[in-house]
Structure 1
């Protein structure tokens, strides 16, 4: 029992750490640019509760089905269970995700490519690719499960593991990535570049810089060498032993360092083999000035090949440049955005496209969640900006078809489709209307016709509008061609590669086109062209009565009077197919390509570890095939595993390096599946052959199409049985159709269905009737019970209520509870604080409404204190001080870092004497009641980012002004309102900057000041640290003769007592170096005390004064009057002497986390009037200064 009580106290103490801030509050913002979040819908499935809003219905349905589809797999990998249903919150795009209030109390830092979670809530967004949406869902589920698995699910486990289990970042994040998606071509290429660079000596060096990539590669290695069950075993024993080293030794049988060494050797050998017979890029290098290594996106070469447009993105603040290819001179033509290191950077925007004339560059960018199209005229240097049509939620690619129209890949109502957009009229023509992902659309001219090539994960070539049902768009991308000249009812499938992706098509000439494919395990270029072939034969039967019957040539009739037949015509059905060959064999991924249409100059981009190691080269494009190339080991293992899975053998084939074959890219004997199998799709015959003949060939009529073995997706609700996989059907003979059942088949309307495995599990059936509106419900976010001595509600104490001198806030017991709704739009917080003296209990209740851009804040506060003082009898008098205030605040965010805030305050201070005896009843002063109304205006900037506890980077500042007006309102015996003359005014600032010295230590600077003016004043006491536990007051420094309205502290000035200087104005400066000493020896320190221990050195300077300036004669610091008593004095003396108003201090200190509290220990020497004072040891609580 004692152990449980101890653990409870430790947890409560640690939960209270977040409240230990410096008295000045800053904070970042969420900016809501629309009101789509007003109405949310939810759907509860077997294991999840999914929420979406507005036009996110289709995305929400995809999330429900994908989450349920992958749920069992994730559970099997981790071998863990959670009884509670997980909550998935769906956003239509990344911009909307950034507007969410969830996690606003924390920094809510998010990184591109990582799924954000909070408790059991998972946040996902749609970027046009359902495969990436699937990755986010899987990573989110894995993150929640790992939190429960590693840190436990009950109070004792959470506290013990939070204290004792300190895992390296690569361990956890790498495992999340491993579960989120299988090892892929991009990651394989990035790790290959990382290892071959030679910049890092071992695993831990690489993992320190690239924890996600290297961590994923480690778990991939464990699964490949030791098997998938080893993953969960390693997790379990790591948690049980609270040590990564012990987990490795017990599960793998080899020490931790040996395993990491073997990992490196494994990949070094693997990549050495991959590089055999491959070509290193060696074209004309295009140098781009990028010293700060900003992310390079949207490389677009002009039609004449003389200029290159590109974007340099500095974590949100981007610039668009035009660079001359020959001279290297560049010009910045557009810039927008702001740096945001807190949230994931949106690299989707801006999008560039050259007008075929070469004299205009189109720029599609987003501002305030609205896509805007800017057309920049290169000759006139003019811009024409207009919003994009409102139907487009987000655009992913943009290219000119002709000077008057653009082809877009964009999302409308949750589906990414292909559109033709006419800027002059803002009208659109929709090409595809289905749930399959259609990306990378580009216009091409093939065989004298204009068409569109695009990448899609659709299994059919049909263009019938289709909604999401029992098929999921989570397969790889193939290329499809749409003929704009004839506008047929179906597409031409250019590639069909179940284990590869084809992306970024471009047109070469009037015959050929090119695209990027990772069929060899490395993204390289392939070229192709279209040709005609005979798909099948059809017969047209004309009867004597004029009836016309059209059917497949292999079909016959069960009953038909042959005498009725007049004529039978058999004719071929001609279709188009693609002939493709590999055209490059680079040793690293070709990530991007662009062609100058007029000159044939090719622009290629090869990514490196960073901007300095990336390569941009110019060359000419060739349509001739390269010699046969071998696949990388990664791709060969993937193919072998797919073949083994299809045949029922679960063991992967050994890794080999044999050449593929003499054919460039032969298709596997059977359709292969990835390690993450796609859902069940319809079986159908394969219609694409990778190795095609040079001339069209007639298809053998004996290879009939099994029309009885198709499975089509219905647009209507189906019975549950149709969601189950169908067993393979034997080959059927030619169809025999009676005359009354005969139907006419249109050759053009027949769509092609890709081969898919028939043995996959069914997809969760979505029932629209289960969709219900979300109703606001509150839950307890936290309950804290801790020691606290922060000043609440600006810390202004009435001077009249403290005639015995200023009283610092004693160490008190604070009980606080917080309630939030699901989306954290509404926050209710209430608490009570009980001083250790049991005198001065405080109560407060706050409510925040953050649903829309203009945030609202409501608060009430009450404090009651009682004091004893000498009275007119032997019995001490009892004085009661009561403060009641109410606040109403508004906050308008300018962006995530800047906001304007206004707070109105209604305050009542009452001082009254209690009747302790008859004398006190008759002689005590009458109650003194003061009522004030105030208004505070603030500008706040905060772009700081937490690097560790009490160590941050960035700048934050606050500039404010405040006004108070005294009034008197009485209701008894009659209504009376009296506005008193005069007011209290305040103006001040507080600015802080945090500068990194190296990876771990920082320099922190602070400058603050304030001045009060008007009839009432605030008296500032300077000296001591913030939240001083055992404060002492300097009574030798005189205070101004005027009676102030309020008194408060101006910290920190360490090395001195409180009141080393005072006045109605102050200026303060602090500088501090913070060094986490023990983290220089190891990053994997288990003890929170040593992990967060910091050695500091500080220098403080400040002054406070009354009057016009610190050296004014009005400053009581340098003037004393004797005697000080009031009344008749025949002789008074006024003594003027010199005290330097500016005081300094310097010293050393330490910061350490103890029982959840950051304890601050400062040992400082004060310097007053050029004299060093005796050193002082001061202990305080809280973060920062």
Structure 2
């Protein structure tokens, strides 16, 4: 006993700061592959990264390579840390494909006690149409890899340094990753302003509990602004070294951790309260029923302005509503999806678009990775669904331009461009084709012409086919205008030109005015404007004698351009006036919260807007005057940013033009994207607008000086725009950083690479492979695996499509061993699994076949020894319906062999007991649970299964004999976890199973899962193993307050009800002690029964019958036992020596009699 205790303590220490879980019933979630594009992957190795992509994600992959290398040195310098290995980036073309990836799937056995996780350097990014957001993902991914390397250390250090990450609050890492991922901006500032001014949170810790990333980002921003950017890396280093957040703050900042938090709160509250005093609340609130505070998106107002349509999206389960603005009555138009709390919610879909007639609403959604176009008729309530052609990877916005056609912003081959989509024939026409991002497309009418306003991060106004080279599309967004009635135009109208400001969400108000959102004041406010024509420049049109024409700038010297022969052929020279379109706009609002989205009714000029106020999305409908000029209040953050820009570079002027500017010939600015030879002089029409070329030069191209020419004739009452001489610094040239030269020749096909994902050494007594034990060939008191030392490891390929898992478990009594090997193939829609399991154990036992009373065994000092061997092979096929639901079919081939060891001459002749079975099992599994804390889940999971086993006899001499027994097994295991009081849960479990046929399973009720010191109740009779009716046995838990076998039979049913309350989470917000952090008080109630036959209440049940016989007389005694037993009590749960341990004090009720108390000590999580 002392040796066992010693081993228990030793191997508990090996699993420090880890946990063990029960594996009685395997549930698990799924990843579903809807297409075959994942079969072929490509890879590209650059200086610091290895990037992988597939199929049509090639252009996204190229952008990822260049952006990652572009930002790498900055992030490395910020964190002041280096890693030796290259970071691996896995690129997906959209969020839907990322969700189909197998990376991060659950293990076959969830028992992770003592796990030594080999921290990987993989990061995953996807394209959502916005390269700025793609850049944020890349930067956050790099920061996460670096932080894991800094805080976890190498593999040899992890057992010690594991504690650091577990004890740090969530905001520490999440906030630092966000801080590195993107600078503090107007959007983040607006979110924090709303949270702090809502009055719902009293301090930083309260905010960090609900918004760890935002709160952490704000704190790191506050520290960097007030203490310097270098303090970030210093604080990170000392926190890791001292393993204490408090000491890190004190040593680096000179202030205690609580004092810094108080300063942070005072800093931002003072700032925000002063800001909103000069701002206004939006008008025209439309009340929307939203008791559960579900995110509301896609606000669209009907063409007549009387209705709004919107989407309520509850973590993937979305509903489309139409609501009357005046009465508030609403109608459910469409619902789809399912709640998914384990993967990122896709708020991009569904998209909404009102038909100009106002009687139809288009709903564009995605189902099984296919875009669907649904049309809902408000009059007939009819729905029509058509698929969108597969060329589109994803739609980002859609708006009708007439009754049948739409303008959409969509991704094709990894580029977000503009298209016209024709619903009658499902054809499309491309409007832009370049690597810039084109989003928020909105239809407008200007001077009787059709056009599109959209947001883009392009640096020029040319509409030409372009491929990514050396200029990255990571600049801020401006608004552009595209004239649909001039499809051959190669130039767009630039509405705004603000390199340090974002403009989004343009909408047309009427045939003159339009509006868009801008964060120029630090809060997303509304600007309104209109387009007008102006004189851009003059040209000389030269006609020659042969009828040909040539255009030259009006200030050019013709004699210097033409040779003498050509000069003599000039017939006429005419001065031509070149007109272009420009935008005039001004501020039209001064909101106290940032404008999230807006939609306009063209016929009424009504505007619907969405804001986040007090943590809730609110809708407003108003009739703003677009001509009104409103001066917004600039936030403190924006004012500081303007000051910073003023000290570092010339401030960028607005594109708004004075009423009567002096005529001036524009100056030219050139930059180039690709190398070229000196061009020949062009005699065709000369466009003197700014050109943008992508290339790298040692010196900046200097524009030629132009001579100003005054017009000689009277011109219309128009103004000539003064060309801005200020040239914005391109995003990729900031701080003279060089863009990686992407070389397509370096792209190579991906080949399988396997690596170890984890190595486990732990104390374990969980049941593997469904836990059916040989009933007739084991000791009578055997029912649960003895505690053993489990060694387990696995190997996975990079994408975790293929996995090998192997392990061995040796009991602490060292009387045998268990081995298993599992291979998984999850590459395609059907998941495959092949498993092999072998167990060999030896016991001290009586003879297998009891001797007749007349036969006396000779006295011997030897002890009878029994050896049991199980060899099992499984092949499983899974068909995942979605993330939570799946069908599973398993084929099992099992061989059981129990034999008496030759401890003496008498035991030699006892023979052996062999069982051979072929089984088929079908399961339906549902699992949407979420682990919110250790042993605390939310959600529901259940399994329904049926199994058929056929016994046979296979030998080399006699062949195969199928004339044996058979068995049917049916069962259910359902569990629900309901949260209450914020941190606690009510857990309910219902389980049952029944076996029937010529062979059966004996279920023994009693005890708990993973009971370390199980006891067997010998007072309850069990069937005679010699009659062959029961071939397997299994333990049915929980039935606390009783030993195992308080009831038995070929069927069982039980229910467990638990309340789990992490008491110290109510007393302390944060604690570094794993013992206190995971300490839980538990109250429980169990009810269970097992029986033979059809009913547990049968009077002839063996439970109520006792038979005693000799050669002359047989006595049969019937008495009453209540078939159902009850147990209740309380317990505690916590982490001790790195293991999750359970201690329960229970009282049982049997046949209406209260039993003596029992103590159950177990390891592993509850059900």
TM-score by shorter chain over 0.5: yes
1:1122 paired to 2:1108: yes
What corresponds to 1:353 in structure 2?
A: 353
What corresponds to 1:1184 in structure 2?
A: 1166
Cα distance in 2 between the residues matched to 1:356 and 1:731: 48
**Alpha carbons of 1:879 and 1:196: their partners in 2 closer, same or farther (altered >3 Å)?**
closer
What corresponds to 1:1000 in structure 2?
A: 983
What corresponds to 1:820 in structure 2?
A: 796
Among candidates 652, 655, 664, match of residue 700 of structure 1: 664
What corresponds to 1:859 in structure 2?
A: 835
**Alpha carbons of 1:271 and 1:6: their partners in 2 closer, same or farther (altered >3 Å)?**
farther
Q: Residue 442 of structure 1: CA displacement?
A: 0.9
Q: Residues 702-741 of structure 1 correspond to what in structure 2 (within 5 A)? A: 703-705=666-668, 709-713=670-674, 724=696, 726-728=698-700, 732-734=704-706
1:966 paired to 2:985: no
**Alpha carbons of 1:1158 and 1:6: their partners in 2 closer, same or farther (altered >3 Å)?**
closer
What corresponds to 1:1010 in structure 2?
A: 993
Cα distance in 2 between the residues matched to 1:454 and 1:149: 43
Cα distance in 1 between the residues matched to 2:807 and 2:631: 73
Q: Secondary structure at the match of 1:379?
A: coil
**Alpha carbons of 1:1148 and 1:272: their partners in 2 closer, same or farther (altered >3 Å)?**
closer
Q: Residues 438-449 of structure 1 correspond to what in structure 2 (within 5 A)? A: 438-449=438-449
Among candidates 625, 629, 632, match of residue 632 of structure 2: 629
Deviations 1:1085-1139 (A, max 9, x none): 112122212221222111111122122123211110113xxxx621111111112
Does the CA-based 8 Å contact 1:316-1:338 persist in structure 2? yes
What corresponds to 2:1088 in structure 1?
A: 1102
1:943 paired to 2:950: no
Among candidates 1017, 1020, 1024, match of residue 1037 of structure 1: 1020
Among candidates 577, 582, 591, match of residue 572 of structure 1: 577
Q: Secondary structure at the match of 1:267?
A: helix
What corresponds to 1:618 in structure 2?
A: 621
Q: Secondary structure at the match of 1:1167?
A: strand
Q: Residue 953 of structure 1: CA displacement?
A: 1.0
Q: Residue 1140 of structure 1: CA displacement?
A: 1.4
Among candidates 1105, 1110, 1114, match of residue 1132 of structure 1: 1114
Q: Secondary structure at the match of 1:607?
A: strand
Deviations 1:631-667 (A, max 9, x none): 2221121122223233xxxxxxxxxxxxxxxxxxxxx
Deviations 1:874-915 (A, max 9, x none): 355654432211111111111111111111111112234455
Q: Residue 205 of structure 1: CA displacement?
A: 2.3
Q: Residues 193-232 of structure 1 correspond to what in structure 2 (within 5 A)? A: 193-232=194-233
Cα distance in 1 between the residues matched to 2:920 and 2:188: 56
Does the CA-based 8 Å contact 2:781-2:1016 persist in structure 1? no
Does the CA-based 8 Å contact 2:296-2:310 persist in structure 1? yes
Cα distance in 2 between the residues matched to 1:254 and 1:26: 49
Cα distance in 1 between the residues matched to 2:288 and 2:548: 70
Q: Residue 125 of structure 1: CA displacement?
A: 0.7
Q: Residue 694 of structure 1: CA displacement?
A: 3.5
Unaligned stretches of 5+ in structure 2?
Answer: 1-6, 111-117, 678-692, 709-722, 848-856
**Alpha carbons of 1:396 and 1:809: their partners in 2 closer, same or farther (altered >3 Å)?**
same
What corresponds to 2:688 in structure 1?
A: none
Q: Secondary structure at the match of 1:56?
A: helix
Does the CA-based 8 Å contact 1:506-1:513 persist in structure 2? yes
Does the CA-based 8 Å contact 2:1141-2:1162 persist in structure 1? yes
Deviations 1:279-317 (A, max 9, x none): 2223x3211111111111111111111221111111111
What corresponds to 2:611 in structure 1?
A: 606
Q: Residue 804 of structure 1: CA displacement?
A: 4.6
Among candidates 1142, 1149, 1153, match of residue 1160 of structure 1: 1142
Question: TM-score by structure 2 length?
Answer: 0.91
Cα distance in 2 between the residues matched to 1:480 and 1:6: 70
Q: Secondary structure at the match of 1:37?
A: helix
**Alpha carbons of 1:591 and 1:16: their partners in 2 closer, same or farther (altered >3 Å)?**
closer
Cα distance in 2 between the residues matched to 1:108 and 1:592: 46
Cα distance in 2 between the residues matched to 1:211 and 1:1166: 44
Does the CA-based 8 Å contact 1:40-1:52 persist in structure 2? yes
What corresponds to 1:675 in structure 2?
A: none
**Alpha carbons of 1:253 and 1:752: their partners in 2 closer, same or farther (altered >3 Å)?**
closer
Q: Residue 558 of structure 1: CA displacement?
A: 6.4
Deviations 1:615-638 (A, max 9, x none): 322211312132433422211211
Q: Residue 569 of structure 1: CA displacement?
A: 2.6
Does the CA-based 8 Å contact 2:1107-2:1114 persist in structure 1? yes
1:835 paired to 2:811: yes
**Alpha carbons of 1:869 and 1:104: their partners in 2 closer, same or farther (altered >3 Å)?**
closer
What corresponds to 2:775 in structure 1?
A: 799
Q: Residues 644-723 of structure 1 correspond to what in structure 2 (within 5 A)? A: 644-646=647-649, 669-671=650-652, 689-694=654-659, 699-701=663-665, 703-705=666-668, 709-713=670-674
Does the CA-based 8 Å contact 1:585-1:626 persist in structure 2? no
Cα distance in 2 between the residues matched to 1:138 and 1:200: 30
Q: Residues 337-736 of structure 1 correspond to what in structure 2 (within 5 A)? A: 337-487=337-487, 488-544=489-545, 548-556=549-557, 557=560, 560-561=563-564, 562-611=567-616, 614-646=617-649, 669-671=650-652, 689-694=654-659, 699-701=663-665, 703-705=666-668, 709-713=670-674, 724=696, 726-728=698-700, 732-734=704-706
Unaligned stretches of 5+ in structure 1?
Answer: 110-116, 647-668, 672-687, 737-749
Q: Secondary structure at the match of 1:428?
A: strand
Does the CA-based 8 Å contact 1:1101-1:1143 persist in structure 2? yes
Question: TM-score by structure 1 length?
Answer: 0.89
Cα distance in 2 between the residues matched to 1:918 and 1:541: 123
**Alpha carbons of 1:365 and 1:715: their partners in 2 closer, same or farther (altered >3 Å)?**
farther
Q: Secondary structure at the match of 2:1100?
A: coil
Q: Secondary structure at the match of 1:147?
A: helix
Q: Residue 320 of structure 1: CA displacement?
A: 1.0
Q: Residues 1070-1089 of structure 1 correspond to what in structure 2 (within 5 A)? A: 1070-1089=1056-1075
Deviates more, 1:723-732 or 1:1170-1179: 723-732
Q: Residue 1054 of structure 1: CA displacement?
A: 1.4
Deviations 1:911-933 (A, max 9, x none): 34455566555xx1444432211
Does the CA-based 8 Å contact 2:42-2:749 persist in structure 1? yes
**Alpha carbons of 1:626 and 1:754: their partners in 2 closer, same or farther (altered >3 Å)?**
same
Does the CA-based 8 Å contact 1:480-1:493 persist in structure 2? yes
Q: Secondary structure at the match of 1:1084?
A: coil
Does the CA-based 8 Å contact 1:22-1:1183 persist in structure 2? no
Among candidates 739, 742, 752, match of residue 776 of structure 1: 752
Q: Residues 891-930 of structure 1 correspond to what in structure 2 (within 5 A)? A: 891-915=878-902, 920-921=907-908, 924-930=909-915
Does the CA-based 8 Å contact 2:824-2:832 persist in structure 1? yes
Q: Residue 258 of structure 1: CA displacement?
A: 2.0
Cα distance in 1 between the residues matched to 2:108 and 2:540: 70
CA-based RMSD: 2.7
Q: Secondary structure at the match of 1:1045?
A: strand
Q: Secondary structure at the match of 2:274?
A: helix
What corresponds to 1:42 in structure 2?
A: 43
Does the CA-based 8 Å contact 2:498-2:654 persist in structure 1? no
Does the CA-based 8 Å contact 1:806-1:1047 persist in structure 2? no
Q: How many residues get paired?
A: 1103
**Alpha carbons of 1:184 and 1:862: their partners in 2 closer, same or farther (altered >3 Å)?**
same
Cα distance in 1 between the residues matched to 2:157 and 2:1120: 61
Q: Residue 513 of structure 1: CA displacement?
A: 1.3
Q: Residue 93 of structure 1: CA displacement?
A: 0.8
Q: Secondary structure at the match of 2:401?
A: strand
Cα distance in 2 between the residues matched to 1:895 and 1:559: 72
What corresponds to 1:1148 in structure 2?
A: 1130
Deviations 1:1066-1088 (A, max 9, x none): 11111112122222222321121
Among candidates 1047, 1053, 1066, match of residue 1052 of structure 2: 1066
Q: Secondary structure at the match of 2:468?
A: coil
**Alpha carbons of 1:880 and 1:691: their partners in 2 closer, same or farther (altered >3 Å)?**
closer
